[in-house]
Amino acid sequence: MSYMAQRVAGFGTTIFTEMTALANEHQAINLGQGFPDFAAPDFMKDAAIAAIEADINQYAPANGRPRLRQAIAQKVQDFYAVEANPDTEITVLHGATEAIFATILGLVNPGDEVIVFEPFYDSYVPAIQMAGGIPRFYTLRPPNWQIDAGELAMLFNNKTKLIIVNTPHNPTGKVFTEIELGLIANLCQQHDVLAMTDEVYEHLVFDEQQHQTLISLPGMAARTIMISSLGKTFSVTGWKIGWTVAPPELTHAIFRAHQFMTFCGAAPLQEAAVTAVSQPPSFYHELTEFYTSKRNFLLDALKSVGLRPIAPHGTYFIMVDISHLGFANDVAFCRYLTSKIGVAAIPPSAFYHNPTDGAGLARFAFCKEEKTLAAAANRLQRLKTG
Ligand SMILES: Cc1ncc(COP(=O)(O)O)c(C=O)c1O
Strand order in the sheet with 361-365: 308-310, 317-321, 361-365
Answer yes or no: is pLDDT of 17 > 90: no
The CB of 366 under 6 Å from ligand 1? The reply is no
Atom number, ligand 1, closest to the C-alpha of residue 230: 10
Q: Ligand 1 centroid to 92 CA: how many Å?
A: 15
The CB of 170 under 6 Å from ligand 1? The reply is yes
Atom number, ligand 1, closest to the C-alpha of residue 34: 14
Q: Ligand 1 centroid to 165 CA: how many Å?
A: 13
Its sign, for the CA torsion 168, 312, 298, 122, is positive
Give the mean pLDDT of 11-27.
87
- 6-40+282-385 has which CATH code? 3.90.1150.10
Domain extents for the chain?
6-40+282-385, 43-279
Going by C-alpha positions, the residue among 193, 254, 252 that lies closest to residue 224 is 193
Going by C-alpha positions, the residue among 57, 105, 336 that lies closest to residue 225 is 105
Give 36-59 pLDDT, tens digit per residue.
999 999 999 999 999 999 999 999
The CB of 198 under 6 Å from ligand 1? The reply is yes
Q: Which fold has domain 43-279?
A: Aspartate Aminotransferase; domain 2 (3.40.640)
Length of the chain: 386
Give 181-199 pLDDT, tens digit per residue.
999 999 999 999 999 999 9
Answer yes or no: is pLDDT of 15 > 80: no
- Substitution candidate for ligand 1 out of 97, 172, 243 with most atoms within 8 A of CB: 97
Give 93-152 pLDDT, tens digit per residue.
999 999 999 999 999 999 999 999 999 999 999 999 999 999 999 999 999 999 999 999
Atom number, ligand 1, closest to the C-alpha of residue 99: 11
